[in-house]
Structure formats: structure tokens, C-alpha cells
Amino acid sequence: MHTAAKIRDPRCFQIAALGLLAAWGMTVLDCGIHPGNALAILLGAQAAQYAGTRLVGLGSFDPLSAMVTTLSLILLLRTNSTGLAALAAIIAIGSKFLVRINGKHLFNPANVAIVTMMVVFDGAWISTGQWGNATTAAFAFACLGILVLTRARRAETTVAFLASYTGLLLVRTLWLGDPFAILLHHLQNGALLIFAFFMISDPKTAPDSAACRAVYGFIVAAAAFVVQFLLYQPNGPVLALILCAPLVPLLDLVHRGPRYHWNRAHKPAPGGKFKGVS
């Protein structure tokens, strides 16, 4: 991949934003990011990406997608075991190569790894990312800046999710007569921002058509609201996304759209079977 092409790749902006946030959390804030776990996630993700690239016959090793997943796991996943941290990274990247429908991986890698670790192991949980109002606001502006810099390509899922989820929270607030400070508290959540801008927005696991992406964003928001506030389960958006992921192939059948490629300069080798796996 040429240098100019890499710069145009939206993942570069994502990595910069997530990387700065992770560095800030490790050096300034007490966000519980263990350096050993972070290193294990980084090495595990890149090793799995390299192995998958070779096994399925992709033309060249592309570390960018694995880096976005790596940083999402570092920021959200908490465990006291370095081995579990590395396993989460392997599950995340491995799911891209192993769980596929119609040439697309079904689950967002970080999402499926986090949910798997929480369900299977007692020693893994999600950090809600309590970074303080100033850090959360700065990260929110950075996320919005990424949408602008990448010309808001395929941003319908994020916009629909945030608008729908905020609307449902507003209805709940008015119904219960709660102060609006509670509504703002639910929205001022680092984990929610990472979910909205780096998980549900993943163009490789979202529907191909713009209309279906907007519908999908609303469906995930509604499911997240039900899980969080009617079933009283924490981490509603993360659980909702993995539950709703099987709807994507159905939406692609209902309304077809152009398949997304991170960078068309990055092509698989002749005969490669997994085009667009990154």
C-alpha cells in the first residue's frame, strides 16, 4: 500500500484518536489500562492478522484493521490475566476470517471478543471509560472530526444510532420525570462513544446500502435501550450489537448497495479467497 493511500485510509485517523486516548488513559488518568495486557493484545492481534492473511491467501499483510481492534480492546476490555487479554485479541481477529457470510465478516471483531470474554470468563469485564467530562468531550470532538476528515463516508449507522438512542433516553427521562442531568450522564460515557464511532460504524460489518445502515442503527439503538433499561443488563449497546449482527446479511439481501473497501489500492493476491477481509 502506497504512503499516500495509507494517509487517505480512514483507519489512520481512527488509530490516531484511539491511540491518543489510550496513551492519555495510561499516563495521566487512572483508567485501569495495564501495560502488560495492552502489549499482549497488540501482539496477539497482529499475530492473528498475519496468520490469517497467510492462511487465506491475501496479497499483503495489512496491520491497520487489527490496530483499530487492538486499541478498542485496550480501552474497553479489563482483565487481570495477560493470557486472557491475548486470547481476546486472537478471538477478535480470528472471527474476521472464520465467521463470514457473503464475503463479509459477520461480527465487529472487538465486539465479539469482548462479549465472548465476558460470557465465558469471570475475570473479564468492560470498562465504561470514566475519563472525566473534559476528556470525554475532547474525544467526542475528535470522533466528529474523523467523520468530517473522512467525508462522513458510511456514517449513517452512527448518526442513526446516536439520534435514536438519545431520543429513547429523552422519552424515558420525560416519562419518569428525571432531571436532564441523568440523560447527560448516560450520554457522557466513553464506552458509548467508542461503540458509536468505532464498533457499530464499522463499514465492513454494517449493511451495504445507506438506507439499511440507517435502519440498522435504529434497530441496534432500540435493542440497546431494551437490554439496558427494560432487562436491566449493563453494557446494553455492546450486547445489542452482537445480537443484531445476524440482521446485516438479511438487510443486504433486501436492499443491495456497493461493498465497502477500506482502500482500493490494497488488493488480494491473484486467487485470494477472502477479498476485503480487513
Question: What are the sequence ranges of the domains in the chain?
Answer: 8-126, 153-254
Q: What are the pLDDT digits (tens) for 200-256?
A: 988 889 999 999 999 999 999 999 999 999 999 989 999 999 999 999 999 999 988
Identify the residue with better confidence: 169 or 151. Answer: 169
Please state, in angstroms and rounded to a whole number, the distance separating the CA atoms of residues 221 and 219: 5
pLDDT surpasses 50 at 265: no
pLDDT surpasses 50 at 271: no
Model pLDDT, residue 194: 86
At 148, the pLDDT band (50, 70, 90 cuts) reads: low
Q: What are the pLDDT digits (tens) for 52-107?
A: 988 887 777 888 889 999 999 999 999 999 999 999 999 999 999 999 888 888 99
Please state, in angstroms and rounded to a whole number, the distance separating the CA atoms of residues 72 and 76: 6
Return the H-helix or E-strand segment holding 254: helix 247-254
Model pLDDT, residue 266: 41
3-state secondary structure of 112: helix
The distance of Cα 157 from the centroid of its chain, to the nearest Å, equals 12
Q: Mean of the per-residue pLDDT values for the chain? A: 85
pLDDT surpasses 70 at 2: no
Please state, in angstroms and rounded to a whole number, the distance separating the CA atoms of residues 108 and 96: 8
Nearest to 112 by CA among 130, 135, 134, 89: 89
Enter the pTM of the model: 0.86
